[in-house]
Structure 1
Amino acid sequence: MKVTVYCGASLGQDPIYQEGTIALGKWIGERGHTLVYGGGNTGLMGLVADTVLAHGGRVIGIIPEFLKERELAHPRLSELHTVETMSERKLALIQYADVFIALPGGPGTLEEISEVISWARIGKNDKPCILFNIAGYYQALEQFFDTMVSAGFLTQEDREKTLFSDNVEEMEQFIATYQPPAAREYRSES
């Protein structure tokens, strides 16, 4: 299985983010899965790649040329693909994936996982989307998703297609039993 992981190029303030990243990297590597990620060697990006490699997994990095030129590319990956733009990188990360997981990160991480979640609702992504909720990092976003349901902008069924969890075993079960949502239908409200 190819696991696309979105995450920060920083380690974060709390060491618990690093501990969770290591747990995810071990799970990917020890299960013989392949990590697909942004190709960087800093922050949680570098940590998850190093952990997967140390535990027998393969790692495919996809990095834009301008970041590679800044010497931010990880030097020991199984494969490193260079693209021209961030848009090309995002598309490649989507095309390779069998599942999407977001570790803690900044606006870029949030934008990337949000895109694949929204694509599922319109029938353009049939793969599971998971937010690894280390130390409650994504708790406010999870509550906002619930607000979307109560406000009528997201169905409960679609809400259940996105997992917020800090438990690797729960994530594994979610992946194993995942059924993609039906493509959203639009009706006139007149």
Structure 2
Amino acid sequence: MRVCVFCGSREGDRPLYRDAAAELGALIARAGHGVVYGGGNIGLMGIIADAALAAGGEVIGVIPRHLLDRGGFGTLDELCEILTWAQLGLHRKPCGVLNTEGYFDPLLAMFDHAVREGFLSIAHRQLMPSEHNAQRLLDRLLSAVVSGENSLHEA
């Protein structure tokens, strides 16, 4: 199986972000899975790819699972695109967020606010589980049952 990781072309200011990215790439590879990413050799995406390769994994371009790591506008764009595609019924692939040190707490709170205000269904909000621990997130994604939620077109 292959896991697509969306993350930043920058490393961030805190060493723990680089460490978590390297751990994630190595965990995916050691679990026998391939890493799919943006293709850059810089930032967190380069760290994840390098760690996966160093652990004997493959890094290629097929996307059956989606995983979000820290990043900026490009990473958030990728996340929103994947979630929108799921809402529209264009795919039913699991997606998850690695929320190291609560990095994505404000974004997750915004999604919860959208549910409370009636702009996002609970089922669609649940398309994006988050974990603080890379191994738990990877386990959740790899064992995920594809959502049976109707797309916006089917609702």
TM-score (norm 2): 0.91
Residue of structure 1 in register with 2:3 after alignment: 3
Deviation at 1:149, TM superposition (A): 0.4
**Matched residue pairs, number?**
153
Equivalence for 2:23: 23
Structure 1 consecutive aligned stretches of length 4 or more whose deviation exceeds 6 Å: none
Q: Which runs of 5+ in 2 are unaligned?
A: none
Write the distance in 1 (CA, Å) between the matches of 2:39 and 2:126: 30
Structure 1 residue 139, shift from structure 2 partner: 0.6
Q: Structure 2 vs 1, CA of residues 50 and 173 (structure 1 numbering), >3 Å: closer, same or farther? A: closer
**RMSD (CA atoms):** 1.6
CA–CA separation in structure 2 for the residues paired with 1:173 and 1:133: 15
Return the match for 2:144 from 149, 157, 177: 177
| Higher gyration radius (CA) | 1
The residue aligned with 2:79 is 113
- Pairwise CA distance, 1:170: 2.7
Structure 1 distance, partners of 2:32, 2:107, is 31
- Counterpart of 2:126 in structure 1 is 160
* Aligned-partner Cα distance in 1 for 2:139–2:35: 18
Q: Greater strand share, 1 or 2?
A: 1
- Classify the secondary structure of the residue corresponding to 2:10: coil
**Structure 1 segments unaligned to the other structure (5+ residues):** 61-92
Structure 1 residue 185, shift from structure 2 partner: 4.4
Q: Which amino acid aligns with 2:2?
A: K
SS at 1:170 equivalent: helix
Q: Distance in 2 between matches of 1:107 and 1:126?
A: 24
